[in-house]
């Protein structure tokens, strides 16, 4: 359920009154950046890390967020507090702003647009997929090459991801797996990919993928637990012959893939490595040690 209160350019307003100009370049061109953060037990998980990526993404796009990271942090927390959010999702969005049509007119744009919205989401709605796993399809839509656009930036232009998801959906799969321009595994349409083979964990290297916050957290967990983990090049062959395959992301957390391209992975059930890593990740989330408190609504 979407939250009742939205932050828009300096004001907290009712959801139905939240408005952005039709001349906003985020609306017209997808010219902006965003983040997705999870709130667990009233705490925003890894807020500092998400804010760093957001500021880096906006800077890469060639403009600046009109406030400090500390000020935006306070707005995110306050938006969640006003919505009474104990468990759910928060999305800050920054666009270049509103102004005349045309890319040539960017110098005439107003100040950047800042929006923060949230959504109540119970863990129960996702637990079923964690327990049974999901299906995936390797799609023909390729991940945009870094020569054209650096994949480290998390921007509002999601056409590449949307087309990938639509193709997977048409094939009857629940998620889309995208290859890079050279035919190696890149990532899922909204999450990162890991495989497990002979007790070792492997994930596609940075370069053609968005470096997910959850991805880096899981690699850190592997180091702490002494689990062999590496970044490298993976092919569809590696996916289909793996002992386990799972995706990870802010809300996906750790979600096993049990069928790819209609073919069963291993025994067709979520594997022990995915379960173990997810248990540790959930423990981090629920401990409150890595989260910014929302406070009482």
* pLDDT string in tens for the chain (297-residue length): 888 999 999 999 999 999 999 999 999 999 999 999 999 999 999 999 999 999 999 999 999 999 999 999 999 999 999 999 999 999 999 999 999 999 888 888 999 999 999 999 888 878 888 999 999 999 999 999 988 889 999 999 999 999 999 999 999 999 999 999 999 999 999 999 999 999 999 999 999 999 999 999 999 999 999 999 999 999 999 999 999 999 999 999 999 999 999 999 999 999 999 999 999 999 999 999 999 999 764
Continuous H helices in the chain: 25-29, 47-61, 69-82, 124-132, 159-170, 213-225, 236-240, 272-287
Enumerate the domain spans of the chain.
Answer: 5-121, 127-286
Q: 22 CB contacts (<8 Å, ≥6 apart)?
A: none
Instruction: Write the class of the CATH domain 127-286.
Output: alpha beta
Report in angstroms the alpha-carbon separations of 286 from 78, 177, 216, 282. Answer: 20, 30, 18, 6
Burial of 210 (0-12, 13-18, 19+ CB in 10 A): buried
Give the Cα separation of 75 and 88 in Å (integer). Answer: 16
248 in Cβ contact with 192 (< 8 Å):
yes
- Can you tell me the distance from the alpha carbon of 250 to that of 178, in angstroms, rounded to the nearest whole number? 19
Tell if the pTM clears 0.85, that is, is over it.
Answer: yes
Give me the CATH code for the 5-121 domain, please: 3.30.470.10
């Amino acid at each position: 359920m979407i939250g009742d209160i939205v932050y828009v350019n300096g004001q907290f307003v009712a959801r139905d009154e939240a408005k952005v100009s039709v001349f906003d370049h985020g609306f017209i061109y997808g010219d902006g950046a965003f983040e997705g953060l999870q709130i667990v037990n009233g705490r925003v998980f890894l807020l500092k890390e998400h804010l760093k990526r957001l500021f880096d993404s906006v800077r890469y796009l060639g403009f600046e967020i009109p406030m400090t990271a500390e000020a935006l942090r306070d707005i995110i927390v306050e938006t969640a507090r006003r919505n009474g959010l104990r468990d759910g999702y928060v999305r800050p969005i920054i666009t270049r702003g509103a102004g005349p049509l045309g890319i040539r007119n960017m110098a005439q744009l107003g100040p950047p647009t800042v929006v923060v919205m949230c959504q109540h989401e119970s863990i129960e709605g996702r637990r079923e997929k964690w327990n049974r796993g999901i299906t995936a399809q390797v799609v023909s839509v390729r991940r945009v090459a870094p020569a054209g656009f650096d994949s480290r930036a998390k921007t509002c232009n999601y056409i590449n991801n949307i087309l990938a998801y639509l193709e997977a959906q048409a094939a009857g799969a629940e998620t889309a797996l995208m290859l890079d321009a050279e035919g190696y595994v890149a990532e899922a349409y909204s999450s990162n990919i890991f495989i497990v083979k002979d007790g070792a964990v492997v994930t596609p290297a940075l370069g053609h993928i968005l470096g997910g916050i959850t991805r880096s957290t899981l690699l850190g967990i592997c180091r702490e637990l002494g689990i062999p983990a590496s970044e490298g090049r993976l092919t569809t062959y590696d996916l289909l012959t793996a002992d386990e395959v799972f995706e990870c992301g802010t809300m996906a957390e750790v979600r096993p893939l049990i069928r790819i391209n209609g073919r069963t992975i291993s025994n067709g059930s979520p594997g022990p490595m995915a379960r173990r890593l997810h248990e540790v990740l959930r423990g981090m989330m629920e401990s409150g040690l890595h989260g910014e408190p929302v406070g009482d609504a």
